[in-house]
Structure 1
Amino acid sequence: MTRAMRQKNQQYGTAGGTLRRVQIGNALSAFGSGFTVPYMFVYVSTVRGLGSMTAWLVFTLFALAALVALPLAGRGIDRYGARPVLVAGAVTAAAGALAFGHASGSGHILMSAFLFGAGVAAVQPALATMIVRCSTQETRAHAFALQFTLVNLGMGIGALIGGQIVDVSRPASLTLLFSVEAVMFLVLAAVTGTIRMPAAAPAAVPASAPAAVPASAPTAGGRVAEPKSDLRTLLADKAMVRICLLAGLIFFTCYGQFESGVAAYATDVVGTSPSVLGLALGVNTLAIVVLQMIVVRITARRRRSTAIAATGVVWLGAWAAAAVAGLVSGGMVATAAMLSVYMLFGVGEALLAPTLGPIIADLAPAHLLGSYNAAFALVKQVAIAMGPAAGVLLVGAGLPAAYIAVMAGSTVLIVALALRLRTQLTAAQDNAVRRTRVVTTSVEPRLAGELRPAA
């Protein structure tokens, strides 16, 4: 083995160890979030007695905090690296969670919510950037899928334990939950703040790729001056704009409905009990944990746009099941239909996990990876914030059929936009080519065969 090959293997081994630490820290922070996420609304409105309007303002402030924090986080990642931004975001989120758990008045709780939301928002693109830096094109889909699985598993376990502690008649029990979440964010900062990130390798640009931003001329010191990270560069990337629009629709249609529109529809229209809703969330998590690695293997030889379109088809089935539940409200059939809704949502989520993150990573120029991940996270936060408004308003206005129709129509649009996205992605970005096995000889490694189109 040559010296260059040994160095390369050592670099991959270091990156793999770093990635494991990032994943562990991420899972632990998700575990902490699981303690509080299901109880945010009831904590503000009931436990602290501030009413539903203040509770909705809290969720609005989460979105506003993301609007402020994410552009700054993206620029910070591109300039200083993902690790310091992640540590700063995690510490900020910990301070916000601790303040949120001890807040009593509306002003105090709203300020804590903004601080907490800003910290969580900064953590997301930093984690995504670290995963990209610690993986290769061949391992990236698996890394993102594993992250998604661990997050869901951590949140599920946290919610299960938190449910045994919470008591709405005792504010101290909720304070304890938010304190646990704060500690877990500090653990994330400690685990990731001491790692050494592998050097960023310049991404290979396929021959079929569209023209990129011209590289700057070398400076007097021999270094290449990278173009500045600005919004114009991102908006000029038509593929990135398309994937953000598609992602916004995806997050609005599924994630934005989980604990709002679907829950309101299930309880008000179908007559589902809160205990069944808890079981449905468990079914969703179980579907993701069981299917995720299987889906990774299936999608490894498929176009990413095909996987996104398949997600739309699966979610269309989920909304059809919701319609059936509404028609036969009450009884075992309605319960089974609502459980299948959450299960099908989980199948779609498993399809997306190894797909969206790698597309963003392949689209982003190396010097703008943080900005691209921040823009994607911003779209996600805004879409999720808009989701509850649409769902609760339609169901609350006595228009459940219109709610189902809007969501079903959105899933059809997801399919159409995913298939249209193919025209904006290169074959490599869409995972439309795959490499055959590498055959080593005594002289040098060579590829056995050529690049072949994926299914």
Structure 2
Amino acid sequence: MTKAMGAAMRRIQAGSALSAFGLGFTVPYLYVYVAQVRDLGATTAGVVLAVFAMAALVVLPFSGRAIDRRGPVPVLLVASLLAAAGAFGLGLAATVPAAIGSAALLGAGTAVMQPALATMIVWCSTPVTRTRSFATQFFLQNLGLGVGGLIGGQLVDTSRPDSFLLLFSIEAVMFLVLAAIVLTVKMPDTATLPGARPAGGRGGGVRALLGHKAMVQLCVLGFVLFFACYGQFESGLAAYGTEAAGIAPSTLGVALAANTAMIVAAQFLVLKFVERRKRTRMIAAVGLIWTVAWLIAGYAGLGHGSQAMATAAFISTYALFGLGEAMLSPTVAPLVADLAPESMVGTYNSAFALVKQLALAVGPAVGGPMGASLHGPYIVTFVLFSLGITVLALRLGKRLTPEQNQPSLVTKPSVIVARHEPERRETAAA
């Protein structure tokens, strides 16, 4: 990595962390704010949350092409401004249309930020350094979300709407800070992506992506990963914990804190272990870790032990999920980038972000009712999904080149790009 690339990367990581810090101020309190503080009702709050998610599904199919045509910087600037307008609008929203419109802006803006930031990281890294770069981003984003949520919890007061205006204003300012930082970033021409600069939209588009079997398999794997983990955190698993395991609602916050603490504590400890091994084997190991996590959750709700044991087991489930997340951050996102042809990095990142968003939409819809009432089938279902992660990861490994599966094998950063044509991967070794 050159000095210019390192300087650009530090600014990108700082902006990413600050935007996550801003999100942490408001995301945990959005439902309460709309339903109770603004007195718009539970139905409206549900619609606002749905619009927030649906806005991402609407814009992500177009964001990748825009990134590849215009570059990630202008797209990220527009996304930051949209998100800032949405956040500030929510702080002032006293009517249903205002709340829904602001949520749409915020959802669209924050959704587009992720593939744009990911593409900037790709441009400012090499195949060898990319693993650590994405792990750092994941670590800083989780730290930012956690600190933001902690500070926001101290400022929020449901009897004072102006306290929420303060939270949303801080969030809006963080997005504007991200935009200001991005304006100072000088994106380097890199040896690893010599054709990465926008070139009038050249490339095969979505059809080429769908014809790339390794990427399609990775998207399927990604859907299962996000469905079986993130899609259950605040829906099915929370419902299961309170209904089957008798977990107090306040303990859910402790469990989420344990998840974040595990990520922060383990991220760089597992990084050295992960970056010297095949990515698909590490993803397969995550499937086994999450299988154990779901079995422990099963004990918490179905084991008929003491309440203290059930509570400890439930918190351990979230902690084990965090360990798996720490192992995924240096593997999955860099793999998406390494699979992408040089003119389609934005398209590939946006496609994977769309898969994640779909999983986060479907996960609560499926897991919520099951976790609340079908306790045994719920655990069995997600044990099977976790084992499916292991199977899918090992199958994916057969379609990757050795360098794509284990970047530490790369001795010359430029060689991997020459192998980035989708049609040439069919005979790749595991």
In 2 relative to 1, CA 254–302 (structure 1 residues): closer, same or farther, beyond 3 Å? same
Secondary structure of residue in 2 paired with 1:151: helix
Structure 2 residue 377 is matched with structure 1 residue 402: yes
Q: What letter corresponds to residue 39 of structure 1 in structure 2? A: Y
Aligned to 2:396: 421
Aligned to 1:100: 90
Q: Is the 8 A contact 1:264 1:392 kept in 2?
A: yes
Structure of higher CA gyration radius: 1
Unmatched segments (≥5 aa) in structure 2: 414-428
Aligned to 2:10: 20
Structure 2 residue 324 is matched with structure 1 residue 348: yes
Q: What letter corresponds to residue 406 of structure 2 in structure 1? A: N
Aligned to 2:258: 283
Higher mean displacement: 44-53 or 33-42: 44-53
Cα distance in 2, alignment partners of residues 170 and 315 from structure 1: 41
Aligned to 1:192: 182
Cα distance in 2, alignment partners of residues 63 and 156 from structure 1: 21
Aligned to 1:109: 99
In 2 relative to 1, CA 378–226 (structure 1 residues): closer, same or farther, beyond 3 Å? closer
Task: Note the C-alpha offset of 1:60.
Answer: 2.2
In 2 relative to 1, CA 371–401 (structure 1 residues): closer, same or farther, beyond 3 Å? same
Q: What letter corresponds to residue 15 of structure 1 in structure 2? A: M
Equivalent of 2:149 in 144, 155, 159: 159
Task: Note the C-alpha offset of 1:169.
Answer: 2.4
Task: Note the C-alpha offset of 1:63.
Answer: 2.9
Cα distance in 2, alignment partners of residues 57 and 367 from structure 1: 37
Q: Is the 8 A contact 2:127 2:407 kept in 1?
A: no
Aligned to 1:363: 339
Q: Give per-residue Cα distances to partners, 1:353-398, cap 9 Å, x unaligned.
A: 00011111111011110111010111111111111111212133x2
Aligned to 1:208: none
TM, length-normalised to structure 2: 0.91
RMSD: 2.3
Equivalent of 1:307 in 282, 285, 298: 282
Higher mean displacement: 235-244 or 43-52: 43-52
Equivalent of 1:379 in 332, 337, 355: 355
**Higher helix fraction (1 or 2):** 2
Unmatched segments (≥5 aa) in structure 1: 1-10, 205-214, 216-222, 439-453
Corresponding pairs, count: 412
Matches within 5 A, 1:191-340: 191-201=181-191, 203=193, 227-327=202-302, 328=304, 331-340=307-316
Q: Is the 8 A contact 1:272 1:330 kept in 2?
A: no
Q: What letter corresponds to residue 340 of structure 1 in structure 2? A: S
- Displaced runs of 4+ in structure 1, greater than 3 A? 200-204, 223-229, 435-438
Cα distance in 2, alignment partners of residues 224 and 350 from structure 1: 35
Higher RCO structure (Cα 8 Å, ≥6 apart): 2
Task: Note the C-alpha offset of 1:170.
Answer: 2.2
Secondary structure of residue in 2 paired with 1:257: helix
Q: Percent identity of the aligned residues? A: 52
Higher mean displacement: 136-145 or 68-77: 68-77
Q: Is the 8 A contact 2:275 2:407 kept in 1?
A: no
